[in-house]
Structure 1
Amino acid sequence: MKKWMLIFVVLLLLTLPLTACNQNELQKIRLAEVTHSIFYAPLYVALSKGFFKEEGLDVELTTTAGGDKTMTALLSDGADVALVGSETSIYVHAQGSKDPAINFAQLTQTDGTFLVSREKAEQFEWDQLKDSTFLGQRKGGMPQMVGEFVLKNNGIDPHEDLNLIQNIDFANVANAFASGTGDYVQLFEPTASIFEKEGRGHIVASFGSESGRVPYTTFMAKESYLDKNQDTVKKFTKAIYKAQQWVEENNAKDIATSILEQFPDTDPEIVETVIDRYKQQESFASDPILDEEEWNNLQDIMEEAGELPERIDHSSLVNTSIAEEVSSK
């Protein structure tokens, strides 16, 4: 009897470490981001500060370079979660998807582009754009739609009052401007700040400040994934909320220092400048809740650009229950 008891105790001691390992094993989430940008600073803070790991998650981040590719990755199960513009969920819904992409957490709440002028303007007025050559963004994408929305709000018809160029790939817009094409260009950071530092252009206006609150980039997952992985998505959203609060409470320099490993080829001063600019115009959402007003503003912008397939109720493609729960604690 004592012999069997001894064997039992030995087996128990051998299995305890294995049980502990299983309990400590991180759950993987495959996250596809539409581009790698300082604009997504809170996400990188969640990674660098270990907020995902605190929730028992191992986030595998992949840059999929473009809205179409990002949604393809999500819908084909190449990714569990996508970080992309909310407009893509509307496009997918319009195609009759039986497993729609649901927005469950918001990361940025304004446009992230800036108007850069080749010539320095002592006092910028939007009327100065009339009859100029303007390098815009890809038709149908949020930067282009927000850009046109802002221009129209300032009395400029982008297709009548400008020589509008939209046939240049996103990756080559900055190079085209640097090579001498255009009087004005719509640029993301850090390119806008780099151009200003190098004297290639001058930031004269912010499209984010002009367009109002909009769910510019959100985390989304297929409805079926959300249904089966509620607890996992809740942990993911909780980590994002921790990062959003950390960004809210810390200065640009500390935020920049925390995410520098994500941008090893970018001047640390530029990273800090960009973060400071985005913080000042409140581009980083302070919580993950995508509210109905923002959703409707998005659709107004899409409608104005002629890119809205149909108006979709907030409740159809947005799930705020998880974001509201983690934000209330």
Structure 2
Amino acid sequence: MAVTRRQLLQAAGAAGALGLAPFSVHAKAATRKVHIAVGGKALVYYLPLTIAEQRGYFKDEGLDVTISDFAGGSKALQAVVGGSADVVSGAFEHTLHMQSKRQMYRAFVLQGRAPMIGFGVSNKTMANYKSPADLKGKKIGVTAPGSSTNMLVSFFLAQHGLKVSDVAIIGVGAGAGAVTAMRTGQIDAISNTDPVISMLEASGELRTIADTRTMKDTLAIFGGNMPAGSLYAPQSWLDANPESAQALANAIVRADKWIQKAGVDEVAKSVPAAFLLGEPEVYKAAVRKSMDGLSPDGRIPPDGAATALKALAAYLPDFPADKIDPALVWTNQFTDVANKRYPDG
């Protein structure tokens, strides 16, 4: 998966000459079967992926899509790195992290324009929480170590003068297992997305101390647009399969727009019953709280990669931010076409 210096220079040269992302002019015929790896499919964070699947948008585009679910975004990425899947439905910032390892990945359609992650403490084991300093020595649950939920914890700790080594990071998954971990006292705090966070809030078991489900809070915490859930893939796959990438972008853009128009009741009817975790009203509340953070059109904000790069540099020790080119990890080439093709969803 590593790229040579010569390949990097060729890619940069192509980008400069064309004024857009470096996609191969002589692309191979599209692969119509696509395998997507996702970390926590039931989460509202990945709602557009499920809607595109449930409403038949992938099939409408002539795609035969297989979706494999993993405990967290880092695990989903590992599946693509290992070659068992083609595309990741995961956190945008992983593309930057991979470039630091000389592996070129690019996000090409957005599901969430805000991280939509809630970070809170247990009202049972941390009832006397007063400040971030109280987190020292505590067990914090994330979907999986290295995932975006872990990133928010690390960023929050760094902002308040703490280090990741001051706490214990524990992977608890993204569904009922995460709720159980909090309820049984296996963890003292949790960083997760909805419906997990809303379920714990509704029952009075969680006190949220950082919330990126809205654009207002996201801008306040990160200082700029922080794109989140996206479809991203190795640059080599995009070069070889531009038609499949376009079809995927078309389906997700349609799903993004449908969600905004349909509202929470229709969304709850459209997802698998297991996603509701037995509490449909709580699930609806979760979708409602996250609606602002869901992308309305799949487009990646121009300043998003720079904001994500600053966040990574702030909490990852020795992260080579000065050697990263943010322009190479995203493109709106496919989403622009999709929005023209489906202006009304």
TM-score (norm 1): 0.77
Structure 1, gaps ≥5 residues long: 1-25, 121-125
Q: Secondary structure at the match of 1:52?
A: helix
Matched with 1:258 is 270
Residues 289-300 of structure 1 correspond to what in structure 2 (within 5 A)? 289-300=299-310
Amino acid at match of 1:169: G
How many Å apart are 1:276 and its aligned residue?
Answer: 0.7
Do structure 1's residue 70 and structure 2's residue 70 form an aligned pair?
no
Aligned to 1:170: 172
1:242 aligns with 2:278: no
Q: Deviations over 1:39-83 (max 9, x none)?
A: 211111111111111111121111133344322321333112111
Deviation at 1:165, TM superposition (A): 2.5
2:184 is aligned to 179
Task: Deviation per CA, 1:86-122: give whole Å up to 9, x if none.
Answer: 232223222223xx222111111212222334349xx
What TM-score comes out, normalization by structure 2 length?
Answer: 0.74
Change (3 A) 1:314 1:91: closer
Q: Which amino acid aligns with 1:89?
A: T
Structure 1 residues 177-186 or 34-43, which shifts more? Answer: 177-186
Query: Retained in 2: the 8 A contact 1:29–1:57?
Result: yes
Q: 1:172-211, CA deviations, whole angstroms, 9 ceiling, x for partnerless residues? A: 7654532346664333322222223334334465134433
Kept after mapping to 2: 8 A contact 1:260/1:268: no
Q: Does the CA-based 8 Å contact 1:252-1:272 persist in structure 2?
A: yes
Matched residue, 2:3: none
Secondary structure in structure 2 of the residue aligned to 1:248: helix
CA contact (8 A) 1:28 1:58 kept: yes
Which residue of 12, 23, 28 maps to 2:33?
Answer: 28
Between the aligned residues of both structures, percent identity stands at 20
Displacement of 1:222: 1.8
Is 2:298 the counterpart of 1:288? yes
| In the alignment, structure 1 residue 306 sits paired with structure 2 residue 316 | yes
Mapped pair 1:61 → 2:67: yes
- Give the conservation status (yes or no) of the 8 Å contact 1:85–1:142: yes
Distance in 2 (alpha carbons) for counterparts of 1:224 and 1:127? 49
Q: State the partner residue of 2:106.
A: 102
What SS does the corresponding residue of 1:109 show, helix, strand or coil?
coil
**Residues 231 and 305 of structure 1, relative CA distance in 2, 3 Å threshold:** same
Q: Residue in 2 aligned with 1:16?
A: none
User: What CA distance in whole angstroms lies between the structure 1 residues aligned with 2:78 and 2:208?
Assistant: 34
Aligned 8 A contact 1:150 1:207 in 2: no
Amino acid at match of 2:308: L
Q: Where does structure 2 lack aligned partners over 5 or more consecutive residues?
A: 1-30, 220-224
Distance in 2, Cα, partners of 1:270 & 1:57: 33
Is the CA contact (8 Å cut-off) linking 1:149 and 1:211 kept in structure 2?
A: no
* Alignment partners' CA distance in 1, 2:154 and 2:123: 21
**How do 1:1-329 residues align onto structure 2 when only pairs under 5 Å count?**
27-36=32-41, 37-97=43-103, 100-119=104-123, 128-132=131-135, 135-136=139-140, 137=142, 140-150=146-156, 156-159=160-163, 164-171=166-173, 174-180=179-185, 184-203=189-208, 205-209=210-214, 210-212=217-219, 213-261=225-273, 263=275, 265-279=277-291, 282-307=292-317, 308-311=319-322, 312-329=324-341
> Following the alignment from structure 2 to structure 1, what is the Cα–Cα distance between the partners of residues 274 and 182?
26
Instruction: Please tell me the root mean square deviation across aligned C-alpha atoms, in Å.
Output: 2.9
Measure, in 2, the Cα distance between the counterparts of 1:237 and 1:316: 18
| Structure 1 equivalent of residue 8 of structure 2 | none
Q: Rate the CA distance shift 1:152–1:127 in 2: closer, same or farther, 3 A.
A: farther
- In structure 1, what is the Cα distance between the partners aligned to 2:83 and 2:188? 43
1:32–1:266 Cα change, 3 Å = farther
In structure 1, distance between residues paired with 2:189 and 2:69: 28
Larger mean Cα displacement after TM superposition, 195-204 or 220-229:
195-204
- Corresponding residue for 2:4? none
Q: Alpha carbons of 1:234 and 1:43: their partners in 2 closer, same or farther (altered >3 Å)? A: same
- Alpha-carbon shift at residue 315 of structure 1 (Å): 2.3
**Structure 2 CA distance, aligned partners of 1:115 and 1:71?**
23
Q: Separation in 1 of the partners of 2:145 and 2:62? A: 40
Q: 1:288 to 1:35 in 2, by over 3 A?
A: same
Give the conservation status (yes or no) of the 8 Å contact 2:45–2:111: no
Q: Work out the CA distance in 2 between the residues paired with 1:182 and 1:77.
A: 34
C-alpha distance in 2 between matches for 1:139 and 1:34: 12
